[in-house]
Amino acid sequence: MARSRPEPVPGRHPIDTGVAELTRDTLTGGWLVTINGAQSSHIHPDPTILDFEYMRQMAAVIASRYDGDGPLRVLHLGAAACALPRYLAARYPASRQVAVEIDGELARLAREWFDLPRAPLLRIRVGDAREVVTTLTEQTRDVVIRDAFVAARTPRHLTTHEFLTAVHRVLAPGGLYLANCGDNRDLALARAEVTTAAAVFAHVALVADAAMLKGRRTGNIVLVAADTPIEDSPALVRTLLSDPQPAQILTGRRARDFGSGVVTHDDAPG
């Protein structure tokens, strides 16, 4: 008889990069993981329910390109408690995923706390995302997702032209890159990332709520990049608009015109 998983213990837990705090969500029965004071992951009892809107936006974009019948090869750069890998494992059960997490103790705790798929369905690799990407075989991933943060910002070395060139190399033809871009109202970081991605990929798109895209609040923008067209299909538009946090998608010239500047290695040492 299979042994039941021990209940996670709420509280503060030391990790390699600081402190992880685990709090029960009394409304859903799930858990919120906070890293050094910043909300990092929400784990719902149902793996197909994502609490963070940017993850729902990413899931909608992936679903608009891939149905649930075939396997996906997914690379996650930044894993935290693996909410999105857990979702994709449920949505695309034949898939194989690798989640790269720089904090080894956080990765261990996520395995201990939550019912994550086991290898080979989901492998967690401890290391720096950029260093790992450069070691991977070219054209071996269908989807690459960057969701790595230090405090409220993506490490600069994961935003550069050189980094995106390395990501582009490991994507299979027709593959999809998605990045969670955290920014404030001036949108300078997101605009630079858009232009940098457009210098590497043939097509870019943006997904966020209208207030975020107009610079009216601090939050998250999902950057999408691919070498094949990114369609704002009626089904995808409906899904985004019907979300509890309604969002819109910018594609083509509207997305490219959003950008400003290119981030290179010289701009982001380390």
Give the single-character DSSP code of 162: H
Q: What gap in Å lies between CA 263 and CA 243, rounded to an integer?
A: 32
Q: Where are the alpha helices (DSSP H) in 96-187?
A: 104-113, 129-135, 161-170
Q: And the tokens for 188? A: 């300078």
Q: Is residue 208 part of a domain?
A: yes
CATH code for the domain in which residue 153 is found: 3.40.50.150
Query: What is the rounded average pLDDT of the residues 85-110?
Result: 96
- Cβ distance 227 to 187 under 8 Å? no
The SS3 assignment for 98 reads strand
The domain in which residue 207 lies consists of 52-258
How many Å is the Cα radius of gyration of the chain? Answer: 18
Position 74 in a domain: yes
- Is the model's pLDDT at 4 over the cut of 50? yes
Predicted confidence band at 270 (pLDDT cuts at 50, 70, 90)? very low
Q: Which residues does residue 13 pair with via DSSP β-bridges, in sequence order?
A: 20
φ/ψ of 196, rounded to 5, equals: -65, -45
SS3 204: strand
Number of domains in the chain: 1
Which residues, including other chains, have CB under 8 Å from residue 188's CB and lie 6 or more apart? Answer: 260, 261
Residue 158 lies in a domain: yes
88-101 burial by CB neighbour count: b if 16+ within 10 A, else e? bbebbeebbbbbbb
Q: How far apart are CA 90 and CA 52, in angstroms?
A: 17
Tell whether 10 is covered by a domain: no
Cα 205-143-196 angle, rounded to 5 deg: 40
Predicted confidence band of residue 248 (pLDDT cuts 50, 70, 90): very high
The answer to whether residue 233 is domain-embedded is yes
Look up the pTM and report it: 0.94
Task: Determine, yes or no, domain membership for 160.
Answer: yes
CA 39 and chain centroid, separation: 14
Helix H or strand E encompassing 84: helix 83-91
The closest of 222, 206, 220 to 256, measured between CA atoms, is 206
167 domain-assigned:
yes
pLDDT one-digit tens code per residue, 31-56 = 999 999 999 999 999 999 999 999 99
- Assign 150 a pLDDT band (cuts: 50, 70, 90): confident
At 171, list the tokens.
Answer: 């994507």
* DSSP state letters, 237-256: HHHHHTSSS--EEEEHHHHH
| CA angle (34, 40, 45) in 5-degree steps | 90
Average pLDDT estimate for 124-139: 96
Residue with tokens 């999809």: 176
Mean residue pLDDT of the chain comes to 93
Output the pLDDT for position 266.
Answer: 54
Find out whether the peptide bond into 120 is cis, omega within 30 degrees of 0.
yes
Q: Is residue 16 part of a domain?
A: no
pLDDT at 6 over 80: no
* Closest of 133, 131, 129 to residue 101, by C-alpha: 129
| Residue 153: band (very low, low, confident or very high) from pLDDT cuts 50, 70, 90 | confident
Q: Backbone phi, then psi, for 228, in 5-degree steps?
A: -110, 155
Q: What integer pLDDT is reported at residue 269 of this predicted model? A: 43
